[in-house]
């Protein structure tokens, strides 16, 4: 449980971080809260030669209402997101999700940008950003670009960020009056979800994302279509695993995961509707 040797450099600004990453290249990793990367380093699965610490960069932990959407700096801690009056008011599903990540220590150190860039299908925040149709801002050597959440998660622990690019801002559309529900099934409170569902509903419009039901967070598109075309919640929920590829592991079989998804999507929709 002791990481392999690595060098450590503290970035003073986003530009500094980008230039450090350009200097060290493939062997370097950004670290912020370190609550996804460090466990992998302790297991010696990840052995970056250099850590570029972005956690002390000033002014990247903001949470702002900018009208159409909420702008969240990548360094905002989960606890900040959970408790932000702006998030509670305009994106309560995100607040709830941030409040259920890991345990209190994880929530006080882990950052929203780190959780998203780590792109773990078993993590809570990536699925919620997908359900809410978030947009991500990435800065790289070639400039700044935005990436839709739907295009961001590309594979097992893989996302659309290019080498050296830094996720700097998360934009969350306001939920307006949508009903919502965050469902997480696990054995102990701090565990990763065995299956989770992040959902909102406004009339026939829904956004439903599944946690740990594939190698990436996935939208339950079939359920969303069914609701759109007038299906009942019970009927629609039966399609919950239609767009997923659940896998068996030590926690649950694929069949059990599919069952959980059907039950939890139904509960999420019932909660969102009432």
Residues that bind other proteins (CB under 8 A): 1, 4, 26, 29, 35-40, 42-48, 102-103, 105-106, 118-119, 122, 154-158, 160, 190, 192, 214-216, 245-251
| Spacing of C-alpha 138 from chain mean position | 15
Residue 1 vs 142, nearer CB to other proteins: 1
Residue 36 vs 97, nearer CB to other proteins: 36
Strands 69-73, 166-173: pairing is antiparallel
* Distance, CA of 181 to CA of 70 (rounded, Å): 19
Find the shortest distance in angstroms from Cβ 41 to other proteins.
8
Find the shortest distance in angstroms from Cβ 272 to other proteins.
28
* Distance, CA of 181 to CA of 268 (rounded, Å): 5
Find the shortest distance in angstroms from Cβ 133 to other proteins.
19
Helices (H), the chain: 14-24, 37-42, 78-83, 85-90, 92-99, 104-109, 112-118, 124-131, 149-152, 221-228, 233-237, 254-273
Q: How many CB atoms lie within 10 A of CB 58?
A: 9
Residue 5 vs 66, nearer CB to other proteins: 5
Residue 72 vs 252, nearer CB to other proteins: 252
Find the shortest distance in angstroms from Cβ 92 to other proteins.
26
């Amino acid at each position: 449980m002791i990481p392999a040797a690595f060098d450590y450099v503290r970035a003073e600004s986003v530009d500094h971080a980008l230039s450090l990453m350009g200097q060290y290249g493939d062997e370097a990793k950004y670290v912020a809260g370190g609550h996804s990367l460090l466990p992998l380093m302790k297991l010696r699965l990840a052995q970056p030669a250099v850590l570029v610490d972005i956690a002390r960069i000033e002014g990247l932990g903001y949470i702002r209402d900018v009208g159409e959407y909420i702008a969240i700096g990548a360094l905002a801690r989960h606890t900040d997101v959970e408790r932000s009056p702006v998030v509670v008011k305009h994106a309560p599903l995100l607040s709830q999700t941030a409040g259920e990540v890991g345990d209190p220590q994880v929530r006080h150190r882990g950052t929203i940008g780190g959780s998203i860039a780590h792109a773990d299908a078993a993590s809570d925040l990536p699925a919620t950003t997908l359900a809410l149709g978030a947009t991500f801002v990435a800065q790289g050597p070639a400039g700044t670009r935005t990436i839709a959440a739907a295009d961001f998660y590309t594979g097992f622990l893989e996302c659309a960020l290019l080498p050296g690019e830094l996720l700097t801002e998360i934009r969350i559309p306001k939920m307006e009056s949508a009903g919502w529900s965050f469902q997480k099934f696990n054995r102990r409170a701090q565990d990763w979800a065995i299956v989770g569902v992040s959902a909102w509903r406004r009339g026939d419009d829904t956004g439903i994302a599944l946690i740990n039901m594939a190698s990436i967070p996935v939208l339950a598109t079939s359920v969303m279509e069914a609701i759109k075309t007038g299906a009942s919640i019970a009927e629609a929920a039966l399609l919950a695993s239609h767009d997923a590829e659940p896998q068996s592991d030590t926690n649950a079989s694929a069949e059990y995961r599919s069952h959980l998804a059907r039950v939890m999507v139904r509960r999420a929709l019932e909660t969102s509707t009432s």
